Each structure stands twice: as structure tokens, then as C-alpha cells.
A = this chain, B = another copy of it.
Amino acid sequence: MTANPIFRVVEGPASGRCEQCGIRKKAVCAYCSTPELVLLDAMKSYKDFAPGEEIAAAGEETTHVGTVVEGVVSLSKTMIDGRRQMVGLLFPSDFIGRPFRAIAPFDAVAVTHVRVCRFKRKSFESLCEESPNLEKRLLEMTLDELDASREWMLLLGRKSAREKLASFLAILARRAAGLADKPLANGVTVELALTREQMSEYLGLTIETVSRQFSQLKREGVIALKSAREVAILDFARLLDASGDESDGDALY
């Protein structure tokens, strides 16, 4: 389900494996070559964060990088006067942290309960030097994130409130269907990990506008709200239409 993490075990016996990120002593990794894995396995550690807990703060030194194993993490930037913009959401298998830079450029906050599989940044960096495949994998993930972040710039700069919310819900619905490995049919139910306030920070809106757009889509029969945090997509075609995006496509996400 959590497809394509930066590390993945592809062969070898199951014994001694880390059940969280799949790294195992003496295993062959799909991306990095064997010997480093032993080191890596020894170096890694887990850390859990409660909802709302800060994982890293913009402007402060970061000592670790890693992979989100469980839960949802928000990346955001806050202005002096308190205005805040979320610049990314991380899900299980996503890489978290900023290699090759001591100071974190953004705040990372746990949205739900979060478990991170961590390595010391320095160790990870030297491991990168030694293991080109690991580095290549990280490069590919970073390029994908860059594309996604630019896609989000279109949403922030040009889309209406309605289009913003519809786009967001469409992405979550695709994600939910993808994880469940189901075709994207009407009636999919999406669990919203975010509060209205967090959504407003992600979409560049206010909490009231987000709420109003939910009500509007509900009134039109595009979605149904089982509860405030549980949305059923009743009419995916009309949702996509409202999103302003080019038709169906499994986009970059």
C-alpha cells in the first residue's frame, strides 16, 4: 500500500527485517547496494509524534532525515504576523527532512499520530556519497516533489475557492482509491486527516470559505458529509469538473 518508499527490500529471508521501512541486515535493497544497508539498519531509529507536535521548526537546526512510516505530516511556513501557508503534506513512504542543509526551511508538524524512521542527517549524507543508487532514488523523489509543488502553485495562484477544494478532494479520493487498490468509482469515502483550519492553510483560504465550499458542494449533490471529517464522493465527474483540472487523468499524484 505505501508504495515506492526510498528504501525497499526485494529479496532475502524475512528474518531480521525492519517491519516498518523494510530495511534488513544483509538484504539487497532495490535502490541502494547491500553493504550500506547493514550500516543503515544499525543507524536508524524510530520516533513517534502526537497530533500537533512539532517535528522540525523553520530556521532551526535539523539533525535527522527519514521516512514517514505512519500518519500525516504538514510542511508549512509562517509569516511574522501569523499568516500561514502549508507547502506540502507528507504521507507514509514520503521522505522527510532536508539533506545537505543544516537549517530547516519549513515547519514540519504532525497532523495525525506520526511515526518517522530516522537517520542522522550527516550519516545519511555520507551514505548518499557512497551509494549512488540511494542518491538517484532521492533525486527522483525530489524531482517529483518539485513537480507537485509547482502544480500546487497553479492552484494557489489561479484557482477559485471552489476549484481549490474540489482539486483537493479529488486528490484525496484518488489517493484513497489507489491505496485500497479500487477503481475510482462514485461513492468512495474519504477520511479527512485535516481540520477545516488545516485545509484552509493548505489551500490558501480561510476556514470560513472552506466550510462554505463544503456546504455548496454538498447542496449540489457532488459530495455528502457523513461527518465533518468524512466525505463521500457522490459524483466524481462533477467534482473533477469543479476542480478546473484537465479531465480525469491520474495526475502527478
Contacts and interface: CB of A to CB of B under 8 A. Distances in A.
B85 A158 contact: yes
Interface of A: 75, 77, 79-81, 83-85, 87-88, 98-101, 105-106, 128-129, 132, 135-136, 138-140, 142-143, 145-147, 149-154, 156-158, 203-204, 244, 246, 252
Contacts of A100: 139-140, 143
A24 B129 CA distance: 25
A84 B143 CA distance: 22
B85 A157 contact: yes
A85, A99, A146 — most chain B CB neighbours (10 Å) = A146
A214 B100 CA distance: 38
Contact of A142 (B139, B153, B154, B158): B139
A204 B156 contact: yes
22 contacts: A75-B150, A77-B153, A77-B154, A79-B154, A80-B244, A80-B246, A84-B158, A87-B150, A87-B153, A99-B143, A101-B143, A105-B147, A105-B150, A105-B252, A128-B136, A129-B132, A135-B135, A135-B136, A142-B143, A149-B149, A149-B150, A152-B153
A125 to B, nearest CB: 10
Contacts of A142: 139, 142-143, 146
A129 B139 CA distance: 12
Contacts of A147: 98, 105
A157 to B, nearest CB: 3
A252 B58 CA distance: 13
Contacts of A99: 143
Given A149-B150, A149-B153, A79 B204 contact: no
A143 B150 CA distance: 13
